[in-house]
Structure 1
Amino acid sequence: IGPKIVTVIVIFYLQSFKLYAQDKELLKAHNITHILSIHDNAAPILEDIAYLCISASDHSKTQHFKDSIMFIHESRMKGEGCLVHCVAGVSRSVTLVVAYIMTVTGRGWVECLAAVRAARPCAGPNLGFLRQLEEFENTELAQVSVQVLNRIFLCLNEASVQDNASVK
């Protein structure tokens, strides 16, 4: 686990420990405006940062997949960075990152986890989380992907309406 934030995909970051989530200069340098924090004592730390805090240990995360996916996607739609972190940056946060990548790419969990591991070799969700990713792929992925696409189209439509209003 290195002392730097790992870029998984552009404007989307994965890291361990909340020390990085407290470094204002590092966050600013990466244009990080959103932090998804998942650990037992998850709580907002800095002002001017949007937080999704999930107070959870290494147990079921599927209940948090949709909210996490939408939170990450909100930052990406704005062209801003999102830091996803847990305590070690190995299991909990990686699981949510993989679920997000599955949703926006339509790829399976095995392929998405391999992509995360290419950027962060220590990524290794526990066996329970791997089962949850498989369950998500088989039962909820298509529905959540449609919801993300609907949000994209809604944002594009709102931007188009604003552009048309400014032309008049």
Structure 2
Amino acid sequence: MGNGMNKVLPGLYVGNYRDSKDPAQLNRYAISHIVAIHDAARKLHPDIHYLCVLASDTPEQNLAQYFPLCNDFIHAARLRGGHVLIHCLAGMSRSVTVTIAYIMSVTSLNWKEALKVVRVGRAIANPNNGFQKQLQDFECFRLMDERKRLRERFPSRALSNLDEEQCQLLLIAYQSLLSGRHICEGNCAMGEVCPTGMCRASRSRSTRRKTSSTSLQNFPSSSSSSCFLCFSFTLSVFKTFFDTRPLRVIVFS
């Protein structure tokens, strides 16, 4: 799905699994760091730093527990001049959710505004209903603390003004694209032609989940999915989270 990875902010890209394997794209956009978020996430390129989160694209998946880890990895990379690709399988739900959480954490945007910013660059962006609820809860109950934590961990303000200004410009662009029917808000009526095909894909995913709901009940909740941290980044950065979460860690130097 999609025609390659898309730039969201300077040094920040969203794409799908195919994009993450494409050497031409990785070289073209100078990707130095990858956040891989899917059921079989693993390090594919030895010369790229990885953060691999094992997570399924289901409303029940607790993706919010990984927001701080992802924020640290992404922000540290960008501050050092790195280019980060965040991808899942389709580049539509899981990767977009993590991208939204990061944008919220480093700017003044709420989750709906951050989603609009992502959609300007990647029109098919559409987190599932469960992830949207997690983003809403993150905004209401944890966002202020996360912004404070990031400011304390990364005192540099090198990206602050740039990201804020870029997001405001993208919000203006979003309204223009929406009025021109180049993008949608994920709620096109049944039978209405969606300009991105996003609504059709979303309904298809929902149908598949309902069909398989009985069998899914036989498995433990995916909220306990392990997170693999695969990158040559100092381990102490994530010590706070290791103290409270049973994460398995692989460090590649």
Question: TM-score range, shorter-chain basis?
Answer: 0.7 to 0.9
Secondary structure of the structure 1 residue equivalent to 2:76: helix
Q: State the alpha-carbon separation in 2 of the partners of residues 21 and 85 from structure 1.
A: 7
Note the alpha carbon deviations across 1:64-123, whole angstroms, 9 max, x for none. Answer: 111011111111111110000001111100000000000011210011101111111111
Give the Å deviation of 1:3. Answer: 2.4
Matching residue of 1:38: 37
* Structure 2 counterparts to residues 18-167 of structure 1, below 5 A: 19-58=18-57, 59-153=61-155
Give the Å deviation of 1:22. Answer: 2.0
Matching residue of 1:7: 7
Identical amino acids, percent of aligned pairs:
39
Give the Å deviation of 1:25. Answer: 3.3
Q: Which runs of 5+ in 1 are unaligned?
A: 157-168
Q: What amino acid is the match of 2:41?
A: A
Higher helix proportion (structure 1 or 2): 1
**Could you say which structure has the larger radius of gyration?**
2
TM-score between both structures, scaled by the size of structure 2: 0.59
Note the alpha carbon deviations across 1:38-73, whole angstroms, 9 max, x for none. Answer: 000000011111101011102110111110111111
Secondary structure of the structure 1 residue equivalent to 2:78: helix
Q: How many residues align?
A: 155
Give the Å deviation of 1:155. Answer: 9.3
Q: State the alpha-carbon separation in 1 of the partners of residues 94 and 74 from structure 2.
A: 15
Query: Where in structure 1 do 4 or more consecutive aligned residues deviate above 4 Å?
Result: none
Give the Å deviation of 1:143. Answer: 1.2
Q: What amino acid is the match of 2:97?
A: T
Q: State the alpha-carbon separation in 1 of the partners of residues 74 and 119 from structure 2.
A: 19
Secondary structure of the structure 2 residue equivalent to 1:140: helix
Higher strand proportion (structure 1 or 2): 1
Give the Å deviation of 1:31. Answer: 1.7
Q: State the alpha-carbon separation in 1 of the partners of residues 154 and 66 from structure 2.
A: 21
Q: State the alpha-carbon separation in 1 of the partners of residues 36 and 109 from structure 2.
A: 25
Q: State the alpha-carbon separation in 2 of the partners of residues 151 and 30 from structure 1.
A: 27
TM-score between both structures, scaled by the size of structure 1: 0.87
Kindly report the root-mean-square deviation, in angstroms, between the aligned alpha carbons of the 2 structures.
1.5
Secondary structure of the structure 1 residue equivalent to 2:40: coil
Secondary structure of the structure 2 residue equivalent to 1:37: strand
Matching residue of 1:16: 16
